[in-house]
Amino acid sequence: MARLRFPDGFHWGAATASYQIEGGWNEDGKGESIWDRFAHAPGNVKNGEHGDVACDTYHRFAEDVAIAKELGLTSYRFSIAWPRIQPSGRGVVNPKGLDFYRALVDALLDAGIRPFPTLYHWDLPQALEDAGGWPERDLAGRFADYAEGVTRALGDRVSDWMVFNEPNVFTACGYLMGIHAPGRRSLPDFLRAVHTVNRAHGLAFHAMKAVRGDLRIGTAFSFTDCQPACDNDADASAAGRWHRFVNEMFIGPTLRGAYPDVFREGGAPLEAMDVREGDLAEVRAALDFVGVNLYTRTLIEDAPEDANLGARPALPFGGNEGAKTDFGWEVWPEALYNVLVWLARDFDNPVLEITENGCSYGDGPDADGVVRDTRRIDFYRGYLEAVHRAIGDGADVRGYHAWSLLDNFEWAEGYEQRFGLVWVDPQTRDRTIKESGRWYAQVAAENGVDG
């Protein structure tokens, strides 16, 4: 097989998120988050599990950094817990919270690994949710204040940042479907949350640049490759509307200063979103890069009974042609290729970083203590081939981050789904590098993958 080499300086990394790995949920002055509240309520998470301890990274971060170094990673994506910095989401910062992230950043720098933090990966301070949460307009300014404070504290040692992780997911799952924190089911709340988050994004970007103009700032958007379920005009039109709704409702306002047309008859729900005069200028941000989170494709069919979008997924989590992960998600590398070339074509060839891509397989240690997760290796090989092909076709991709470094708390699924390159024992939290992690280390060392 030919060796597919990646561009010189390409970042090989792994990604994590604060609530999913840190634990220490109420230590050293940290405030309650919406995920603390949501996971502690019976019935919200499988098996009644929660992130109180998670991977215990709050106490074992040095071990995780050492593993990342052993794997030869050059970039480590993590998130900063807002309630660890501002326990109530406003006011004076918690010095012990900042000390934790300073220590993590310093350990990464000492290991020769780029710190790549995300300011918000879904753990809103519960006090702000009690005041109305993301549907409330004034939360945009509070988030910008938080972003500015963290930038002042860490901007001298962190050069590359992300503002949000998957704004379309946390607004829809948290405020429309109610399957994630804070567990609300309200179309009006969801629509207002979308616009508040877009305003918060623009305000935070400019606040951070005002502190240090040389920072590289982007956001990790969740994308999917929307394809018509059947070969007909109705499904093709529906797939276009779903694409604009899922893929462009956040990146569109950010880079173009306008919401996409998502209704069957054209237009977007601007009045219901509470879009006011001057807002669309406020949401614009000239991102230094676009973070790409992608797992699979989505097959879309026409939905005549839906008076708004008139579109719906035909199947959950992809189609039925590709292999399935243990989460039931279709393995479809072409989806990543298609999204990368679409971004390059439609958004003036921005700098791209794959900020999440990965798979859940439950393989555990065998009698020899080895985790032989060959299906995960096959998954990554296929998706990395797709990235390499997209680069060859002009997409400016600068890095790839496997989701995730560690088996961790997978939101409403609890600890049932294992995405890690590293096995985490559910009782002791001891770490074991899987065979996929060893394979990924070789990819990073050789800056290439067998095609």
pLDDT in tens, 102-130: 999 999 999 999 999 999 999 999 999 99
Angle between helices 374-392 and 334-346 (to 10 degrees): 30
pLDDT in tens, 309-359: 999 999 999 999 999 999 999 999 999 999 999 999 999 999 999 999 999
SS3 state at 381: helix
Q: Which structural domain, as residue segments, surrounds residue 352?
A: 3-450
Q: How confident is residue 451, by pLDDT bands cut at 50, 70 and 90? A: confident
Structure tokens belonging to residue 272: 């219901």
Domain count along the chain: 1
- Minimal CA–CA distance to 81: which of 162, 154, 17? 17
List the catalytic residues: 166, 356
Percent of the chain past pLDDT 90, that is, above it, reads: 99
- Under the phi-then-psi rule, with left for phi > 0, alpha for psi from -120 to 50, and beta for the rest, what region is 29? left
Structure tokens belonging to residue 60: 């074992």
What are the Cα distances from residue 347, in Å, to 205, 248, 351? 19, 11, 10
Mean local confidence (pLDDT), 176-193: 98
Mean local confidence (pLDDT), 385-408: 98
At 84, give phi and psi (nearest 5°).
Answer: -80, -25
Residues in the chain: 451
**DSSP secondary structure letters along 55-91:** T-HHHHHHHHHHHHHHTT-SEEEEE--HHHHSTTSSS
| R_g over Cα of the chain | 21
pLDDT at 85 over 90: yes
| pLDDT at residue 347 in the model | 98
CATH code, domain carrying 152? 3.20.20.80
Dist CA 387 CA 355 (whole Å): 12
Output the average pLDDT for the chain.
98
Q: How confident is residue 2, by pLDDT bands cut at 50, 70 and 90? A: confident
332 in Cβ contact with 319 (< 8 Å): yes
pLDDT at 135 over 70: yes
Q: Extract long-range pairs of 254-260: CB within 8 Å, 24+ residues apart.
A: 254/198, 254/201, 254/202, 254/219, 254/283, 254/284, 254/285, 254/287, 255/284, 255/285, 255/286, 255/287, 255/347, 255/350, 256/284, 257/281, 257/283, 257/284
Q: How confident is residue 12, by pLDDT bands cut at 50, 70 and 90? A: very high
pLDDT at 1 over 70: no
| pLDDT at residue 57 in the model | 98
pLDDT in tens, 231-268: 999 999 999 999 999 999 999 999 999 999 999 999 99
What is the CA 327 to chain-centroid distance, rounded? Answer: 17
pTM of the model: 0.98
Only one residue has tokens 């939290």, namely: 429
pLDDT in tens, 207-216: 999 999 999 9
Q: How confident is residue 131, by pLDDT bands cut at 50, 70 and 90? A: very high
Mean local confidence (pLDDT), 16-22: 99
